[in-house]
Amino acid sequence: MGKKWIFPAMYLGAAAIILAGVMWYQNSKDFTTKPATPQAAPSEPSAPTQVAQGGNKEQPAVPVNADDGKLAWPAKSEATEKVMGYFDDASDKKDQEAALVQYDNSYWPNTGIAIAAKDKKAFEVTAAAAGKVVKSERDPMLGYQVEIEHKDGLSTVYASLEDAKVNVGDTVDRGAVLGMAGRNVFEKDFGIHLHFEVHKNGEAVAPEQYLSKADNMTQAK
């Protein structure tokens, strides 16, 4: 929005005279100046994320973990499905609209993916890769959360858990049970589900970039 000018007209006139004098002086001295470097427009403030402290910035897809370089689907893939995808700034409008979480009369970009059982029942949530538990706590909005650190700046976050079966400092293997999927206040429309995030160097990235090809093909809609 434009700012209203509040200076008196006489001040503006004086400023114009001074500016003209400066321009005449520069021309008379035959100064050579470089064109001004255009300033980048300020970026729009990003909406808060469910778990990630950063925004939805894309990072180069260099999936690395302690196993085969890809993350495993964090549940039994044949019994679960993706019910909401990751909000990607580069996606088309239709995909972006499908990745918005409605809460308190507002819409929020999904910083991970939502996974639910095909029969709508509770299911075991498992570690996508081996690593060390760095967070295991209950959040009033998102239910129990577990975060696991892997190699090369990669970490995974599991939220909307009914309980947490691991503690901070635990070392877990790929496929270890972390807890049972539950409900949460923020994504209540999904019912019982898992909110799963992948972080690279502290930033939320698209989990699909890191999940194994077989799991992505199974969950593709």
What lies within 8 Å, CB to CB, of 80 at 6+ separation is 73, 115, 116, 117, 118, 123, 194
What the block records as the tokens of 98 is: 């499908």
Is a pLDDT exceeding 60 seen at residue 142?
yes
How does the average pLDDT of the chain come out, rounded? 78
Give the tens place of pLDDT for each residue, 172-207. Answer: 999 999 999 999 999 999 999 999 999 999 999 999
Amino acid at 87: F
Q: Taking the domains of the chain in order of start, what are their residue ranges?
A: 80-219
Residue 4: its pLDDT value, please? 40
- pTM of the prediction? 0.69
Name which of 28-32, 65-69, 88-92, 158-162 the model is least confident about. Answer: 28-32
**CA dihedral of residues 218, 219, 220, 221 (deg, nearest 10):** 120
pLDDT bin (cut points 50, 70, 90) of residue 218 is low
Taking Cα atoms as reference points, which of 180, 181, 71 lies closest to residue 128? 71
Rounded CA-CA distance 204/159 in Å is: 14
Residue 69: its pLDDT value, please? 72
CATH number of 80-219: 2.70.70.10
Residue 131: its pLDDT value, please? 98
